[in-house]
A = this chain, B = another copy of it.
């Protein structure tokens, strides 16, 4: 995920911490990941971590910001397209790409209570998610569309890390997810 995420103004020390944290969070959950585990993964002491982020919550926030920024950029790129169909297509392709290239972490981070709290309560995160969802919904705010978009977004993140897909390579997974997602988009 590291190379596909935008980096704001982060130092290389901070990037190494966030990379390690992201992987540990997805493997053990935020609540079961200690600063000691992050420090060990980076190869430094706990105090060195605290020098960069003065609380564990700040690391969670920073990891969330990376993902949020990626989603914001994808959405703004899609919104440059002229037609609704094209906006949906461009956004879908980018989301599927991001998820497939980060199979081991996409779904878990999306459903982790600590990240959910960010994406549901913190304005910068709520705004990005709303824009992303509305790009799919377009001008058809019928109730059915809400369920379809929810299933689309959580289904993509969940599917890429499902063990039943383990023997699909990235190319095949991308292809089949795109077909499945388009079947849902037709319902919007």
The interface of chain A, by Cβ under 8 A from chain B, is 26-33, 107-108, 110-114, 116, 120, 133, 143-144, 146-159, 162-165, 167-168, 172-173, 176-177, 179-181, 183-184, 186-187
Contact across chains for B114 and A112 when beta carbons are under 8 A apart? no
Provided the pairs A111-B107, A112-B111, A187-B180 are in contact, do residues A147 and B163 lie with their beta carbons within 8 angstroms? no
Bound: A107/B148 CA distance, A: 16
Chain A binding surface SS class: helix
Provided the pairs A146-B168, A168-B143 are in contact, do residues A180 and B162 lie with their beta carbons within 8 angstroms? no
A96 vs chain B, min Cβ distance (A): 11
Contact across chains for A114 and B29 when beta carbons are under 8 A apart? yes
Bound: A149/B168 CA distance, A: 13
